[in-house]
Amino acid sequence: MRQLVECVPNFSNGRDPHIYESIASAIDAVSGVSVLNVSADADHNRTVVTFVGPPAAVEEAAFRAIEMAAQLINLDQHEGEHPRLGATDVCPLIPVTGVTMTECVAMAQRLGARVGSELGIAVYLYGEAATRPERESLSAIRKGQYELWKEEIGRNRERTPDYGPAEARPWGATVIGARPFLIAYNIFLNTDDVGKAEQVARAVRYSSGGLRYVQAKGFLVEGQAQVSMNLTNFAKTPIYRVHELVRREASRYGLQITHAELIGLTPQQALIDTARWYLQLDDMQDSQVLENQLVGEGVTGQALLPLAFLEATAAPTAVPGGGSVAALAGALAAALAEMVAGLTTGRKKYADVADKAGAIGEKAGALRVTLTAAISEDAAAFEAVMAAYRLQDVTPAAKSAAIEAALLAAAEVPLRVADLARQTAELAEEIAGIGNVNAVTDAAAAAYLARAAADAAGLNVRVNAASLQDRDTAMLLRERSEQVRAEVAEIVARATAAAAERGGY
């Protein structure tokens, strides 16, 4: 199973696109990370960025974002509706797939230690990563906001950070932690009386006697009263129950809900649950949702290859193209090898090869993640080549140098994909020889896909190398590509022969 962690850092600027777009770009530049949403709010003067990726990549992206925010945001000059403590106010890590909460806690600890030591930022751990009970709550750590923190840090022992210096800096402090998925859900009322919104929030939030998994506060946003909420467990306290309680409490003051908004992303299940409740579709199945069928939801409930990538490939645009598809083929090959290994470990019949199969599965999983990241890397490399050719207002020498560098990178990415495909073919050969005989044809399919990946990637190496001015480098790239392709062909021949012999076909 692919390891995925979600990170939803909140930055104390929602008014300057240069600032929050620079932070988002710093995150997006990390290989393997996908930025899913950037939500900026001028009234709150706050931006929420949602991104996902493998644990190591997410850690690196979060660090770069915190570093960038500290350079661009000065809390001494910041004002906004939302409470805040630092330039990067809070940075939660949320397990998605293949990662436990305990692992996210360890990530928070590593990230916090690095931010404190390398960036000189005071760091507090919260949520599941809290080092003491009173710091589990974000609001407790943020009490008094930046202004009170600045006065008390270094003087009040309760303000001593978990990492970093106990001194005031203009970037403030950052709160890092691990928690379950949270839905940021805001409801607007037909009034400009923020006091009424706060009274409704008081009735709804858990800390003052409301619903168990709700945090709420009243704000004035664009002249309209808002009940701003964080829903920390939508399965136990669903959106529709929160919405109805806000409606009922607001009606007590003669108010109505005008509209609601989501900040960042929400799980689809939360919306399906809401539809079931409001439409009284008690027997509705998730499989009755069209989009679930379109992404190929199988009997295991796991989504297969999304149609979005296939549609993007089929579109009359240059990317994604053959290089990205080569990386995808390699990732699928690694996934099949990982699957066969998983079907082998834990079976009595294969107890004598369990350790070896387990090691193959781990290596295949790592290759799958790396090759998946290469899908976007190849597209980015091609776009960099096009951007270099379009350069204007530079000297001819500078433009030529930029094109040469971009072409070299565009050749190196598929060469790496080809080499990763070779490693994947080797794992397919290994598992074909020892793995569960009922899945031996899957091992053979992995080998064939690895060869397709190496062949397609090799073609991209040759095409980009042909345009290089440095002919010696071009020759070395082509030679290495041909060597890898030949090695893969030999490995695949052995793997498929072994699979055929064991499978009896």
Q: What is the mean pLDDT of residues 78-88?
A: 90
82 and 62 within one domain: yes
In Å, how far are 78, 224, 310, 414, 419 from 321, measured between CA atoms? Answer: 44, 48, 11, 12, 19
Task: Tell me how many degrees the CA angle 178-184-188 measures, rounded to the nearest 5.
Answer: 160
Say which of 41, 44, 78, 82 is annotated catalytic.
82
Q: What is the pLDDT of residue 37?
A: 87
Q: Give yes or no: 76 in active site.
A: no
Pull the structure tokens for residue 459.
């073609």
The predicted-structure confidence for 193-222, as pLDDT tens digits, reads as follows 999 999 999 999 999 999 999 999 999 998
205 and 161 within one domain: no
Domain with 27, as residue range(s), is: 4-178
Domain count, the chain: 3
Q: Give the integer Cα–Cα distance in Å for 170 and 250.
A: 39
Q: How many helices (H) and strands (E) does the chain have?
A: 15, 11
Q: What is the pLDDT of residue 4?
A: 87
Q: How many Cβ atoms are within 10 Å of 292's Cβ, its own excluded?
A: 16
Pull the structure tokens for residue 356.
């070896």
Q: What is the pLDDT of residue 291?
A: 66
Q: What is the pLDDT of residue 303?
A: 45
Q: Give yes or no: 378 in active site.
A: yes
CA–centroid distance for 97 within its chain: 11
Query: Residue 182 contacts by C-beta under 8 Å, 6 or more apart in sequence?
Result: 8, 92, 94, 230, 231, 232
At 174, which CATH number?
3.30.990.10
CB 457 within 8 A of CB 478: no
In Å, how far are 327, 348, 481 from 418, measured between CA atoms? Answer: 8, 36, 7
Say which of 28, 378, 419, 442 is annotated catalytic.
378
For the chain, what is the mean pLDDT? 91
At 377, which CATH number?
1.20.120.680
Could you say which of 257, 279, 301 is where a domain stops?
Answer: 279
Residue identified by tokens 């009359």 is 316
- Can you tell me whether residue 88 is helix, strand or coil? strand
Residue identified by tokens 């270099």 is 388
The predicted-structure confidence for 167-187, as pLDDT tens digits, reads as follows 999 999 999 999 988 899 999
In a domain, 496, yes or no: yes
The predicted-structure confidence for 429-457, as pLDDT tens digits, reads as follows 999 999 999 999 999 999 999 999 999 99
Measured torsion, CA atoms of residues 73, 74, 75, 76, in degrees rounded to the nearest 10: -160
The predicted-structure confidence for 127-165, as pLDDT tens digits, reads as follows 999 999 999 988 899 999 999 999 999 999 999 999 999
Q: What is the pLDDT of residue 139?
A: 87
Q: What is the mean pLDDT of residues 301-307?
A: 50
Q: Give the integer Cα–Cα distance in Å for 450 and 14.
A: 46
139 and 16 within one domain: yes
Q: What is the pLDDT of residue 351?
A: 92
Pull the structure tokens for residue 264.
């960042």
119 and 230 within one domain: no
Pull the structure tokens for residue 241.
């129950």
CA–centroid distance for 500 within its chain: 40
In a domain, 302, yes or no: no
Q: What is the pLDDT of residue 293?
A: 63
Q: What is the pLDDT of residue 299?
A: 38
- Burial (CB count within 10 angstroms: exposed 0-12, middle 13-18, buried 19+), residue 347: middle
220 and 107 within one domain: no
Q: What is the mean pLDDT of residues 101-105?
A: 93
Share of the chain above pLDDT 70, in %: 96
Prediction pTM value: 0.55
Q: How many Cβ atoms are within 10 Å of 330's Cβ, its own excluded?
A: 34
Q: Give the integer Cα–Cα distance in Å for 143 and 85.
A: 9
Could you say which of 178, 203, 235 is where a domain stops?
Answer: 178
Could you say which of 279, 307, 329 is where a domain stops?
Answer: 279
The predicted-structure confidence for 5-47, as pLDDT tens digits, reads as follows 999 999 999 999 999 999 999 998 888 888 888 989 888 899 9
pLDDT band of 302, cuts 50, 70, 90: very low
Share of the chain above pLDDT 90, in %: 73
369 and 245 within one domain: no
In a domain, 374, yes or no: yes
Task: Tell me how many degrees the CA angle 119-123-129 measures, rounded to the nearest 5.
Answer: 130
The predicted-structure confidence for 243-255, as pLDDT tens digits, reads as follows 999 999 999 999 9
103 and 43 within one domain: yes
Q: How many Cβ atoms are within 10 Å of 35's Cβ, its own excluded?
A: 17
Q: What is the pLDDT of residue 198?
A: 97
The predicted-structure confidence for 256-297, as pLDDT tens digits, reads as follows 999 999 987 788 889 999 999 999 998 888 878 876 665 544
448 and 405 within one domain: yes
Q: What is the pLDDT of residue 457?
A: 96
The predicted-structure confidence for 410-422, as pLDDT tens digits, reads as follows 999 999 999 999 9
Sequence-ordered alpha helix ranges (H) in 295-395:
307-314, 322-344, 354-389
Strand duo 183-189 + 46-53: pairing = unpaired
Q: What is the pLDDT of residue 332?
A: 95
Q: What is the pLDDT of residue 180?
A: 87
Pull the structure tokens for residue 24.
């988002």
